[in-house]
Structure 1
Amino acid sequence: MLDSYSLLEFLEDYVFYYPLAMSIIWMIGASYFYMRREQGRKKLPELEAYPLVSVLVPARNEEKAIASTLKAILASSYPQLEVIAIDDASTDSTAMILQQIESEEANVRVLLLDKNMGKPYALRCGALASKGDILLCIDADAYLDPYALHWIVAHFINGPRVGAVTGNPRVRNRTSLLAKIQVGEYSSIIGMIKRTQRILGKVLTVSGVIAAFRKQAVFDVGLWDTDMITDDINITWKLEKRFWDIRYEPNALCWILVPESFRGLWKQRVRWAQGGVEVIRRHRDIWKSWKQRRLWPVYLEYVLSVIWSYTYVIFGCIWLINLVYPTGWPEVHILPEWKGSLLALVCLVQFLVGLSLDKKYERHIPGYLFWVIWYPFAYWLLMALATVYATPRALFRKMGKPAVWTSPDRGLFTKL
């Protein structure tokens, strides 16, 4: 049996080697995906047909952003689309703005909900009202690239078992350090993870800001669950449990706003962490079925990341207490030694690889390497604390009530 000190050493190694191993896996998987499925793809795909796409835009209190979002959607080069904007009982002038746009644009329809029921409920209403066989869900503050739908629709035409296609969010507000770090995060962390998970066959989640679904698949799994705080993660798992294929299309660009205040970033990361644990809680039945075995690694990796967060935070607290008031507790090491230096080097290489892969979509994005190197120092601690805080909320939250929402942090200096 391991004594306390050998167990302590094991946990110290886990804190360092877990992110090291995942960084290496992400670099290998993302590079392989790029060479096999991205490299050389510059020409817009030629489509045999143009099925009608219903663009669903749920909104609550988005008076500053909603008009420009719909304008970007209507500027799409895709010839067959309808826009369904769902106002979730906004208390500002969002509904009035939507109705004005509806009166001017023939392919825009507006649904007005008289009670705040949350984004999943709004998406359900939009899906039920839609005419298209493909549903594109986009956030109310996002700008859709004019050619994104061509890249997305090609997957549905060529793959009859494709249930969803997630796009490539790009940060458009880049005025603060927090925003610039997130530019690198979306390339070097989120984009690389999606590429790798796609190679392995199952993804943790589509990007809620831009994700397209085959309507048949969404109805096959019973639409979005209204009591889940992260609709995107949950619908992904529901689809994959029914063996619908989930794909990642990096050419389907969508320009988004990210939080630029610590409070806004904290609220976002707590919601992400809570939503992830809620999904793990709801879909734990995958371990009962051998048919769901391809989801096991995704599930296990998420659980390991939660364990890592708790270990990281606990070690940090012990280190801080010993630093301020010696207690005689075992000494722990959280400041970089040789293992920390190795981890920092691997992270730097990962950031460089991720930014280089996305150079195809933004020529000058490698220049953000200087900003993203601060990611491990601030973001690891922030995300670990958010996970520790959110996990009990997710495990003990009473499910069944609608997951309502508030408008998130839209950045400090960006004109919407």
Structure 2
Amino acid sequence: MTAADWGNILETILVVVLVIFVALGIVPVLMMAYQFLLIPFHAFRNHYRKAAPYLPNVAVIVPAWNEGAVIGASIDRLMSLEYPEGRLRIYVVDDASTDDTPDVVKAKAVQYPGAVFHLRRDVGGEGKAHTLNHGIRVVLSEDWMEALLIMDADVIYLPDSLRRMTRHLADPEVGAVTAYIREGSTEKNFLNRFIAFEYVLSQIGSRRAQNVLGALACLAGGAQLHSRFNLVDIGGAIDTSSLAEDTVTTFKTQLAGRRVVFEPYAVVLAEEPLAIAALWKQRLRWARGNVQLTKRYKDVWFRPSRMHNLGSISFGLFWFSVFLLPVLMILSSIGLIGLLLLESNLASEVFRILWVTAACTYIYTMLLASQLDPATGRSSWREAILFPGLISIVIMISALLPGFFEVVVPAWFGLHITDTGTFIWTLFTYIWISVSMLGAWLTKVVDGTRAGRWLSPLLTYVVGYGPILCAVTFDSYVKEARGAAMVWDKTEKTGRVMG
């Protein structure tokens, strides 16, 4: 064979590798579409046939550090739940608070004798899991508790939410139940509206699909209901070695052969961050916890088992399509740029396949999600439309309608597009899937400046909320690789939630 023949072979191999890189970028899109295609099957594959009216003695553990602004209202709301009198006890674990949290809780203990208890930790700051375990030791030392509800100090449970959750524990095969955490701030800014729609996608959307598969990724940290048997069987304590203690508990429950159920009609209102920096800090903790958990359960992935469905192919693809999303985005850009530089005809074809798939999935998921929670769909319709960002939407249009902008730009703006301009635009569209994460980081930086008040919302709508989440995940890789300190940062609460 001649040198030219070897060159052609190597170029063919390189093209194949680059096409595979682009194809990997399509996998998360397909997995999102697959999840939302499963949602209608939740009408048939669910746990309701095995659920029944069941009202056990429920001990509620509320970890609290400087929650004076919200803890009183949270206790009042809990005591007004549609639940039998005498079957609900609230244990507020005060993590060495320095504000008026102890005074507020003690006053509520007097107001609700025998139902509200103040547990004080003299040494605090060790993290939520340590705080929870302090309370768990207390409630397990007595025989009264039949089910344990773990919640956050600021969340508001709607009146029927707890009994909607407990009915699933009537089935002894169920170890834990979680609820739909809805963004509940009375006055929402642009970021709260994005978060509200994200929760529709990730909870009543994705978690319904996980119900169908019989494998749940995570019990919401502010809404975890465990049977006493399950709590004792997984060790009688919450894991303290990870930043994702709620996810570890979720996995332990299912690995022990018990089911975890998401109840979409049990609604819990929560206050979410107002600023991107606060959101970034919160989600970085979650993302680092997922990195730790992925390594911890490396022997579970893609290993089907009769005991649980965490090892199923579908669940593994769901998990890793999110966990590896930044990596897959970067590989996709490398593949497209490589094909462009090789002047391969495949460049434009695989680009179009990638973005047309993304566009179709985007349209379908946003429309369906808007129907899953119509109230959030109405209040966050701008955020639903611009969830991937204005730039990504323009790129989707260019993929769906090839040549559209070559016609529109001269007709509307009177500009002539040169070959160089076309190349630059093509290059930009090929790399945007990765560069969007840099745009998200820039949005975070700008958000902390004086101009952030008006510029940050604009950049978020242009760059997209989705890229912010991807950038946080990438940051979690870096922080975990560097061995950064594991700090459980508390999100500041101001009492903006009203049920």
TM-score for the superposition, normalised by structure 1: 0.85
Q: Distance in 1 between matches of 2:104 and 2:47?
A: 39
The answer (yes or no) to whether the contact 2:285–2:488 under 8 Å persists in 1 is no
Runs (4+) of structure 1 exceeding 4 A deviation are 35-39, 287-293, 313-319, 328-333, 335-338, 395-398
C-alpha distance in structure 2 between counterparts of 1:112 and 1:126, whole Å = 9
% identity of equivalent residues: 23
Which residue pairs with 2:254 in the alignment? 240
Structure-2 change in CA distance of 1:37 and 1:162 (3 Å): closer
Distance 2:257 2:478 in 1: 30
Where does residue 239 of structure 2 map in the other structure?
225
C-alpha displacement of 1:63: 1.9
Question: What pairs up with 1:113-128 in 2 under 5 angstroms?
Answer: 113-115=121-123, 116-128=125-137
* Map 1:206-355 → 2, pairs under 5 A: 206-222=219-235, 223-286=237-300, 290-291=305-306, 294-297=309-312, 298-313=315-330, 337=352, 339-355=354-370
Contact 1:188 1:353 in 2 (8 A): no
Give yes or no for contact 1:181–1:371 (8 Å, CA) kept in 2.
yes
CA-CA distance at 1:169 after TM superposition: 1.0
Q: What CA distance in whole angstroms lies between the structure 2 residues aligned with 1:391 and 1:379?
A: 19
Structure 2 residue aligned with 1:188: 201
2:178 to 160, 166, 181: 166
Cα shift readout 1:200-238 (whole Å, capped 9, x = no counterpart): 111111111112011211111112111211211110011
1:96 counterpart = 2:103: yes
Distance 2:18 2:352 in 1: 16
Matched residues in 2 for 1:201 and 1:217: separation? 17
| Pick aligned residue for 1:365 from 377, 381, 388 | 377
Partner of 1:28: 37
Q: Which residue of 2 aligns with 1:111?
A: 119
Q: Secondary structure at the match of 1:296?
A: coil
Deviation sequence 1:286-307 (CA, Å, 0-9, x none): 3688556721233453234333
Query: Does the 8 Å contact 1:137/1:211 carry over to 2?
Result: yes
Give the structure 1 partner of residue 473 of structure 2: 387
- Take 2:205 and 2:132, find their aligned partners in 1: how far apart are those partners? 28
Equivalent pair of 1:58/1:87 in contact (CA under 8 Å): yes
Separation in 1 of the partners of 2:219 and 2:251? 10
- Separation of aligned partners in 2, 1:93 and 1:367: 35
Give the deviation of 1:13 after TM superposition. Answer: 2.8
- The yes-or-no answer on 1:414 pairing with 2:431 is no
Q: CA deviation at 1:193?
A: 1.0
- Residue in 2 aligned with 1:374? 386
Name the counterpart of 1:325: none
Structure 2 counterparts to residues 148-167 of structure 1, below 5 A:
148-157=161-170, 159-167=171-179
Which of 70, 81, 106 is matched with 2:75 structurally? 70
Secondary structure, aligned partner of 1:146: coil
How many residues were matched structurally?
395
Query: 1:281·1:395 contact (CA, 8 Å) conserved in 2?
Result: no
Report what 1:178 is aligned to: 191
* Letter matched to residue 22 of structure 2: E
Name the CA shift for 1:83/1:336 in 2 (closer, same or farther; >3 Å).
farther
User: What secondary structure sits across from 2:299 in the alignment?
Assistant: helix
Q: Structure 1 residues 287-296 or 60-69, which shifts more?
A: 287-296
Q: Is the 8 A contact 2:29 2:361 kept in 1?
A: yes
Partner of 1:90: helix, strand, or coil? Answer: coil
Equivalent pair of 1:172/1:256 in contact (CA under 8 Å): yes
- Secondary structure at the counterpart of residue 294 of structure 1: coil
1:337 offset after TM fit, Å? 4.7
Query: Structure 1 73/245 Cα, relative in aligned 2: closer, same or farther at 3 Å?
Result: same
In the alignment, the residues of structure 2 paired with residue 314 and residue 395 of structure 1 have an alpha-carbon distance, to the nearest angstrom, of 20
Provide the rounded CA distance (Å) in 2 between the counterparts of 1:146 and 1:415. Answer: 15
Deviations 1:125-171 (A, max 9, x none): 222222311111111110011111111111112x1121000101111
Is this contact kept in 2: 1:275–1:394, CA < 8 A?
no
Q: Return the offset for 1:415.
A: 6.4
- How far apart, in 2, do the equivalents of 1:242 and 1:342 lie? 38
Backbone CA RMSD of aligned residues: 3.2
The 2-side partners of 1:38 and 1:367 are apart by 30
TM-aligned CA distance change 1:35 to 1:300, over 3 Å = closer
Larger Rg computed on CA atoms: 2
Q: Are 2:210 and 1:197 aligned?
A: yes
- For structure 1, list consecutive stretches of 5 or more residues without a partner in the other structure: 323-327
Contact residue 158 and residue 268 of structure 2 kept, 8 A: yes
Q: SS state of the match for residue 182, structure 1?
A: helix
Within 1, Cα distance between the matches of 2:220 and 2:267?
11
1:145 matches 2:231: no
TM-score for the superposition, normalised by structure 2? 0.71
Deviation digits for residues 180-217 of structure 1 (CA, Å, limit 9, x no counterpart): 12221111233211111111111111111112011211
Give the residue type in structure 2 aligned to 1:114.
D
* Further displaced range: 63-72 or 370-379: 370-379
Q: Secondary structure at the match of 1:225?
A: coil
Q: Distance in 2 between matches of 1:197 and 1:126?
A: 30
